[in-house]
Structure 1
Amino acid sequence: MDNLPPELAVLADKILSLPTVQLVALGSAVLILALAVGRVLFNLLPSKRPPVWEGVPFIGGLLKFTGGPWKLLENGYAKFGECFTVPVAHRRVTFLIGPEVSPHFFKAGDDEMSQSEVYDFNIPTFGPGVVFDVEQKVRTEQFRMFTEALTKNRLKSYVPHFNKEAEEYFAKWGESGIIDFKDEFSKLITLTAARTLLGREVREQLFEQVADLLHGLDEGMVPLSVFFPYAPIPVHFKRDRCRKALAEIFAKVIRARRESGRREEDVLQQFIDARYQNVNGGRALTEEEITGLLIAVLFAGQHTSSITTSWTGIFMAANKKHYDKAAEEQKEIIKKFGNELSFETLSEMEVLHRNITEALRMHPPLLLVMRYAKKPFPVTTSTGKTYVIPKGDVVAASPNFSHMLPQCFKDPKAYDPDRFAPPREEQNKPYAFIGFGAGRHACIGQNFAYLQIKAIWSVLLRNFDFELLDPVPEADYESMVIGPKPCRVRYTRRKL
Structure 2
Amino acid sequence: MALAEVLQGLGTSQTWLTVVSLALGIFAAYLYLNRALPEGAPPLTKGDWPLIGPISFWTRRWDFFREAARTSANGNFSFHVGNRVVVGVSGDEARRAFMDSRHLDATSGYAALFAGAPTVPKAVDSDQEDINDQHFFKRITAMLKKENFVKSLDALISDTRSRLEDLVKDPKGMTDPFESIYGIVYQLTMRTVACNEIADDRALLDKTLDMFEKIEASSSPKLIILPWFPFPGKLRRLWYGGRLYMIFKKIIEDRARTGRREDDPLQFMVDKGDDVKEILTFILGALYAGQLNSGINAAWVIIYLANDPYWRGKVWEEVKALAEKYDGDTSKSIPARLASAPLEAWENELPSIDLCLRDSIR
TM-score, with structure 2 as normaliser: 0.75
**Aligned counterpart, 1:109:** 102
How big is the shift at 1:122? 5.1
State yes or no: 1:158 paired with 2:152: yes
Measure the CA separation in 2 of the matches of 1:27 and 1:261. Answer: 62
**Aligned counterpart, 1:254:** 252
Q: In structure 1, which of residues 317, 333, 349 is the aligned counterpart of residue 322 of structure 2?
A: 333
Q: Where do 1:243-392 residues align within 5 Å? A: 243-275=241-273, 284-286=274-276, 288-338=277-327, 339-341=337-339, 342-362=342-362
Residues 201 and 132 (structure 1), Cα distance of their counterparts in 2 relative to 1, 3 Å cut = farther
**Aligned counterpart, 2:240:** 242
State yes or no: 1:61 paired with 2:57: no
Residue identity opposite 1:321 in structure 2: Y
How big is the shift at 1:48? 7.6
More helix, by proportion: 2
Residue identity opposite 1:158 in structure 2: S
Indicate conservation of the 8 Å contact 2:47/2:55, yes or no: no
State yes or no: 1:216 paired with 2:206: no
SS class of match (1:158): helix
SS class of match (1:61): coil
How big is the shift at 1:310? 1.7
How big is the shift at 1:337? 0.2
State yes or no: 1:169 paired with 2:167: no
More strand, by proportion: 1
SS class of match (1:85): strand
Indicate conservation of the 8 Å contact 2:143/2:265, yes or no: yes
How big is the shift at 1:176? 7.6
Measure the CA separation in 1 of the matches of 2:22 and 2:208. Answer: 55
How big is the shift at 1:327? 1.0
**Aligned counterpart, 2:141:** 147
SS class of match (1:179): coil
Residue identity opposite 1:54 in structure 2: K
Residue identity opposite 1:285 in structure 2: D
**Aligned counterpart, 2:176:** 180
Residue identity opposite 2:184 in structure 1: L
Kindly provide the CA deviation profile for residues 254-300 of structure 1, in whole angstroms up to 9, marking residues without a partner as x: 1222233333232222222223xxxxxxxx322x3322321111111
Residue identity opposite 2:217 in structure 1: E
How big is the shift at 1:322? 1.8
Residues 131 and 145 (structure 1), Cα distance of their counterparts in 2 relative to 1, 3 Å cut = farther
Indicate conservation of the 8 Å contact 2:315/2:353, yes or no: no
Kindly provide the CA deviation profile for residues 95-132 of structure 1, in whole angstroms up to 9, marking residues without a partner as x: 1023232222222223x667536625556611213899
SS class of match (1:86): strand
User: Would you say how many aligned residue pairs link Structure 1 and Structure 2?
Assistant: 327
Measure the CA separation in 1 of the matches of 2:243 and 2:52. Answer: 41
How big is the shift at 1:89? 5.4
Residue identity opposite 1:68 in structure 2: R
Residues 131 and 140 (structure 1), Cα distance of their counterparts in 2 relative to 1, 3 Å cut = farther
Residue identity opposite 1:335 in structure 2: E
Indicate conservation of the 8 Å contact 2:120/2:245, yes or no: no
State yes or no: 1:96 paired with 2:89: yes
Kindly provide the CA deviation profile for residues 334-376 of structure 1, in whole angstroms up to 9, marking residues without a partner as x: 22101142413313423234333432343xxxxxxxxxxxxxx
Q: Which runs of 5 or more structure 1 residues have no equivalent in the other structure? A: 1-19, 276-283, 363-496
Which is further off, 305-314 or 218-227? 218-227
Kindly provide the CA deviation profile for residues 76-106 of structure 1, in whole angstroms up to 9, marking residues without a partner as x: 1332262122245544322102323222222
Indicate conservation of the 8 Å contact 1:130/1:289, yes or no: no
SS class of match (1:93): strand
TM-score, with structure 1 as normaliser: 0.57
**Aligned counterpart, 1:75:** 67
How big is the shift at 1:223? 3.3
**Aligned counterpart, 2:119:** 126
Q: Where do 1:361-440 residues align within 5 Å? A: 361-362=361-362
Which is further off, 203-212 or 90-99? 203-212
Residues 185 and 208 (structure 1), Cα distance of their counterparts in 2 relative to 1, 3 Å cut = closer
**Aligned counterpart, 1:415:** none
Measure the CA separation in 1 of the matches of 2:181 and 2:82. Answer: 38
Residue identity opposite 2:227 in structure 1: P
Measure the CA separation in 2 of the matches of 1:131 and 1:29. Answer: 28
Residues 23 and 285 (structure 1), Cα distance of their counterparts in 2 relative to 1, 3 Å cut = closer
Indicate conservation of the 8 Å contact 1:61/1:88, yes or no: yes
SS class of match (1:92): strand
Measure the CA separation in 2 of the matches of 1:291 and 1:196. Answer: 15
The one of the two structures with greater contact order (alpha-carbon pairs below 8 A, sep at least 6) is 1
Kindly provide the CA deviation profile for residues 218-240 of structure 1, in whole angstroms up to 9, marking residues without a partner as x: 33443333233343222322222
Residue identity opposite 1:293 in structure 2: F
Residue identity opposite 1:119 in structure 2: A
Measure the CA separation in 2 of the matches of 1:324 and 1:226. Answer: 43
Indicate conservation of the 8 Å contact 1:195/1:266, yes or no: yes
Residues 356 and 272 (structure 1), Cα distance of their counterparts in 2 relative to 1, 3 Å cut = farther
Residue identity opposite 1:352 in structure 2: S
Measure the CA separation in 2 of the matches of 1:150 and 1:200. Answer: 16
Indicate conservation of the 8 Å contact 2:107/2:133, yes or no: no
Residues 78 and 154 (structure 1), Cα distance of their counterparts in 2 relative to 1, 3 Å cut = same
Indicate conservation of the 8 Å contact 2:82/2:226, yes or no: no
